[in-house]
A and B are shown apart, each in its own frame.
Chain A
Amino acid sequence: MALSYISPQFIIERDASRCIACQVCVRQCANDVHSYNEEDGLVSSHSLNCAGCHRCVTACPTQALNVRLSPLDFRPHANWTPSIITNIYKQAESGGMLLTGMGCDQPYRIYWDHMVLNASQVTNPSIDPLREPMELKTYLGSKPEQLEFSQSQDGLELDTEIGPQLELAIPIMFSAMSYGSISFNACESLARAAQIAGTYYNTGEGGLHPDLYKYGANTVAQVASGRFGVHLNYLNAVAALEIKVGQGAKPGIGGHLPGEKVSLDISRTRMIPQGTDAISPAPHHDIYSIEDLRQLIFALKEATHYSKPVSVKVAAVHNIAPIASGIVRAGADIVAIDGLRGGTGAAPTVIRNNVGIPIEMAIAAVDQRLRDEGIRHRASLVAAGSIRSSSDVVKAIALGADAVYIATSALVALGCHLCQRCYTGKCNWGIATQDPYLTKRLNPNIGARRLVNLLRAWSLEIKEMMGGMGVNSIESLRGNRDHLRGVGLNQVELDALGIKAAGY
């Protein structure tokens, strides 16, 4: 084999005085970085394969290991950076598209970090969330134009029929991740956590494993272009349906689960032949227009007797505002928008890093457009695509979202270290893998507990922020951009976000 030009990205430092050659690192690494030599009784490391996931460092009982970025530098060049050079080496060796996992890692401006929140001082009182009720409950679904009541013997009665709603105890749901892209234990961790926390997780387009039907009341089931595992029992087992048109990490393109990952269990869940590529085409074959989208939305409503809301998920792209308007007019009850930095189990690097717009801009544009057209009430708006903290949640809602989807944050709670190698199927944390030796590392009970802890912590923080602003219901914060100010943004950006600069 010809010499590869690719040099190790990481250096593994092993403190010989601490290493007891217990071989935990050897067993923990699916990338075969560590090996034990029986002759000299020593463990050594081959750093070229290291993904930088820290599993060995975390598992080492004597803290003998450390993983650092390799200090090996090319001659500095502002244009020809090490990653660009290395990518060309990889492509010259393989002839293939570069593949990656998780969300965009490029330094585009993160607008969350350029928006600050308001707080009450003197002229209006702040609220102490420790002693006063704070309402985070959120209903997702189409709301009526107006409410009509009539007087009866028992008092006022609501005459207006209100369509099906999702009831969320906190305005945070787990975003779509399929069984196939993540392990069964990861799916079950999300499902259990959603049930305990009073929110929802999302099947992605991998179908619903029979053992997860019991979490149906806390499940959003996707219908995507591959139609994997989509049948009447699946549609009727869950709380809401979501037509997946696009994903922030890879707008406009399809995807596929490689045949070697389509095991017997995944083949049954997706209802496809074992060992074939599970191809999700770029478009839905039955959607070429807003009218066609309407047809699929109502096919799903017919199939489920109009009993559950239907969401349409799209990637945030240039003309997202009119697109969202069309989706609402097509009859969607929820519009989910996934931004540029949204995650993925596998996407071509060039797509992930170059296509789509930041979610902050998309939410602001869509909320404004729907208000201008007088149809904002007809659908709820869910923001996705890198919500990293409770302050991102609050800012998203103040910009106009009803709720947010989190996925990367949830996986980080489960142990993900953002090594961005999900597509290899060798996740040492038992998340993005189907290898039983790796998946058993993730215990769904512990996973669910960690996720519930995260949601509890964020909801406490959200209440603190709301209290500070003098707001005691998340409803009062929604689309309330007066609570936001921009720092370090130019006027065009401020206008796009619909917020004032700090100081104004």
Chain B
Amino acid sequence: MSTAAVQTKTQTLDAGGLYYRDLNERLLELVNEGAETVEILNVNGQRYLGTNLQRPVRLIVHGIPGNDLGAFMDGPQITVLGSAQDGCGNTMNSGSIIIHGSAGDILGHSMRGGTILVKGNVGYRVGIHMKEYETVRPAIVIGGTAQHFLGEYMSGGVLVVLGLNLDSDELHPTHFLGTGMHGGVIFMRGRVDASYLGKEVGQEKMDDADNWLLQRLVQEYADTFKVDSEGIFSVPFIKLVPRTKRPYGQLYAY
């Protein structure tokens, strides 16, 4: 492939001062023109990046993208060289989001496919109502820790919280963890107080399949953010699962 061809497949877009609607439209034009990688510079709060691009394009975001980064996203691979705000990966179908900083609330809300990796911490209600079906299973790996209601209403998918920035005796601050959970699995590395768990959540022993899955996801995290995966596995994980697939089966008189 000639250098010129490679260059046209990698494009640069300056988002400075652009309204989100204009930025996303410009981005779509570049992708329609054949760009495979777009470096977006000076991003400052623009919403819905990646939402309307239904193909496996690479976006490298320099700055802080706005809410609903990758909402309804189907295909793109987004790398954020900074932090992300709320609603990242909202109802995401496929693709990946890698955040080199921290992320806000409801990360991965109703997400049903793809992967999100966050190097730092995340806000409240992360992974809320995540789903899975048939062979599609989303995953979120968080390097730091998560705020309350992590995995609320979760009905599928995998949530991994590594707690790498916690002291060895420090508890995850996550209260009401997995409240209303009726599917999926959460792996927490480090100390979780049993009284912080939602009442629908139970703890289960890890089996070979869990270890294999966790190994794969942690390795992906370690490779992406250049950290040592062996060090991560020096601290044990606990596995949290729903007690029942039908938490609300006994509410009604027929």
Contact = CB atoms under 8 A, between A and B. Distances in A.
Given A259-B246, A302-B52, A424-B254, A276 B182 contact: yes
B77 interface: no
B12 interface: no
Interface in A80-103: 90-91, 93-99
Interface stretch (B129-137, B159-167, B168-176, B221-229): B129-137
A286 B251 CA distance: 26
Interface stretch (A68-76, A230-238, A464-472): A230-238
Interface stretch (B37-45, B57-65, B85-93, B201-209): B85-93
B131 A271 contact: yes
A298 B47 contact: yes
A67 to B, nearest CB: 20
B103 to A, nearest CB: 14
Given A99-B253, A271-B112, 19 more contacts: A90-B253, A96-B250, A226-B129, A230-B91, A232-B93, A268-B133, A268-B134, A270-B133, A271-B133, A272-B132, A276-B155, A277-B182, A279-B180, A285-B106, A286-B90, A286-B109, A299-B90, A302-B20, A303-B71
Interface residues of A, number: 43
- Closest 8 pairs between A and B when the two form their complex, measured CB to CB: A227-B110, A96-B253, A94-B253, A302-B48, A276-B245, A96-B252, A99-B252, A231-B93
Tell me whether chain A's interface is mostly helix, strand or loop, or mixed: mixed
Interface string A51-69: 0000000000000000000
A286 B72 contact: no
B215 to A, nearest CB: 24
A281 interface: yes
B72 A299 contact: yes
B54 interface: yes
Interface string A248-282: 00000000101100000001101111111101010
A473 interface: no
B146 to A, nearest CB: 15
A275 B245 contact: yes
Contacts of A285: 106, 109-110, 125, 128-129, 152
Interface of B: 20-21, 24, 28, 47-48, 51-52, 54, 67-68, 71-72, 74, 86-87, 90-91, 93, 106, 109-110, 112, 125, 128-129, 131-134, 136, 152-153, 155-156, 180, 182-183, 245-254
B50 to A, nearest CB: 10
B254 A99 contact: yes
Contacts of A93: 253
A98 B36 CA distance: 56
Contacts of A109: none
Contact of A302 (B51, B110, B125): B51
A303 B133 contact: no
A409 interface: no
Contacts of B180: 279
A299 B51 contact: yes
A305 interface: yes
Nearest to B68: A299
B252 A295 contact: no
A272 to B, nearest CB: 5
B123 to A, nearest CB: 12
A256 B129 CA distance: 13
Interface of A: 90-91, 93-99, 226-227, 230-233, 235, 256, 258-259, 267-268, 270-277, 279, 281, 285-286, 295, 298-299, 302-305, 348, 423-424
A97 B106 contact: no
Contacts of A298: 47-48
Contacts of A90: 253
Contacts of A230: 72, 91, 110
Contacts of B245: 259, 273, 275-277
Contacts of A94: 252-254
Contact of B249 (A259, A273, A302, A303): A259
Contacts of A424: 254
A93 B253 CA distance: 8
A268 B52 CA distance: 23
B68 A272 contact: no
A272 B133 contact: yes
A277 B180 CA distance: 11
B116 to A, nearest CB: 16
Contacts of A259: 245-246, 249
Nearest to A302: B48
Contacts of B54: 232
A273 B87 contact: no
B58 to A, nearest CB: 18
Given A256-B248, A273-B132, A285-B128, A303 B253 contact: no
A299 B246 contact: no
Contacts of B48: 298-299, 302-303
Contacts of A276: 155, 182-183, 245-246
A93 B112 CA distance: 40
Contacts of A233: 74
Given A273-B133, A277-B248, A285-B125, A232 B74 contact: yes
A227 B129 contact: yes
19 contacts: A91-B253, A94-B252, A96-B252, A231-B93, A232-B93, A258-B246, A268-B134, A270-B133, A272-B131, A272-B132, A272-B133, A276-B155, A276-B246, A277-B247, A279-B153, A285-B106, A285-B129, A302-B20, A423-B254
Nearest to B133: A271
A94 B253 CA distance: 6
Contacts of A272: 112, 131-133, 155-156
Nearest to B247: A277
Contacts of B132: 272-273
A207 to B, nearest CB: 11
A279 B93 contact: no
A457 to B, nearest CB: 37
B111 to A, nearest CB: 9
A267 B253 contact: no
A447 to B, nearest CB: 27
A274 B182 CA distance: 12
A399 to B, nearest CB: 36
